[in-house]
Structure 1
């Protein structure tokens, strides 16, 4: 026997008082007037809309499942498909009808649109198989915010239910869910302010993730970038979008642009541009005792962005000083997974003083499944005297002992990561370390001991023994 699904009539289109869930007015006529006047015919009823409480339970569970899937680097396709199906059929997307005030209605619309944008972004990463660990963690953080948002929306719905639904099994389940899973609990009067705050955090996170992947240095096809541009446009102009229209644009973009790529092929890295791998060694021979510093470009030295359809880039604080100083001790090599045309456009503007000795591009990276690996053994330099600085550990996974992982930089103008790195690099070169891998291990061990001691700046006061 099929289980009866309970639907709850929440409000009329006239947005009645919180405890009133029918749009029909009372036609009671006082006794003094009843004898002399005939009652007026009832006005035509405005249409009500229904929210399926069981579906709300399922939607919350799906969003929580997405968080778990991305945290464990598992496929989330099933959860994503279920989310689209259930939300298509549930009137939660018209939750703004609960309120009269336009400010509240706009806040609720934003929450619903941002949920769809976040799910679309996770669908892009899941289907394309282009999501590295750092990107998946960023989307995981985003989905956790969206999960908290649905809990606030559920709480808003619960506070609009009439008293007779207090013993409804699905309502009780929802009450338990919100009570146990909300990280920020507040009164019903504060829900809207909390929702607005979380909306802003979600918008900021989505824009940062999408912009990073639309960077010309990222390894994506033009069609995939168009999906991300759609997401950016919707989030940027969210106050002008109706929920249905935004969902339509996102759904079309996902279905038309995302095709599951064949793994372990060049197609899985770029659908439209096939570049032949350059022959090794990449660099001309030089003195054996030279130190080589390999630097990533995007999100390590610069950050690309678009403004009014014009490409621009920001330079990381301390970049010019860093390049000038390290060039006194190292042969400086830029190694980017970006296309040569893009990289040269950036570097021609960044390196007026010619501190950079060589440039390596996408054709110098090894296509390994879903991204390009920077194999230092193909450069043509002694690995005992070569260091790579990159914001993605996957890029130097073939020589992890040679790598320094630097934090990703977008636009924080107070960042000082490059300048903090200078003393370590200078000490290695000045002390003529025989093997940079041993020197870097020594620094890592010192930092771990400093962290164990509870030091707030474990990267400071590091030193290199003379025998390394």
Structure 2
């Protein structure tokens, strides 16, 4: 006889890894559970952290995020590298959707992001490719932009056509936590802290004047054109409207 003692304690899955609403541990479809319960705000999973730039639908728990973060730091230590977050617009490149006199010049990329979309024209900052190739020996390069995902990957293709520099480490506004600030996203990408992270950008405000930010002079090639991907309400957007 076992009396009234507890023989087995069954614990439900905490769903620590979720991909597009599907738990990677138990296979449960969390979207179906939520739709049946009719409660949108009920936390069904501990997976709240998105650590992969190009796959925001993949989320892990804070515990697993910290473990992965420590492994990343150890890998960087072994490779004797730090992390470098690089902005695109007016840091490495300048883009316009307006027809300019300089369009006949060489070195300008012309492209559309979709059928019916305006033609965009991008000029790379002089010597930026050489800079990226040299700095990649010391840093693991990441790209960060408030442009769309398709825009970010298109520009990254101009800078790094063989995907040797950035790989999948491209973060756009489609993956951003905060559409006005880039700082909040660092907590997800680097859950163990950003002490090994350096940032290069032409703007300080979007990083909340972070101490690990190196501010560079804005790159302006198309006269009278600011940052076409500036966050809503920013000075660049107001200038564009005026």
Higher relative contact order (CA 8 A, sep 6+): 2
Query: Larger Cα Rg: Structure 1 or Structure 2?
Result: 1
Question: Which one has a larger percent helix, Structure 1 or Structure 2?
Answer: 1
- TM normalised by structure 2 equals 0.49
- TM normalised by structure 1 equals 0.26
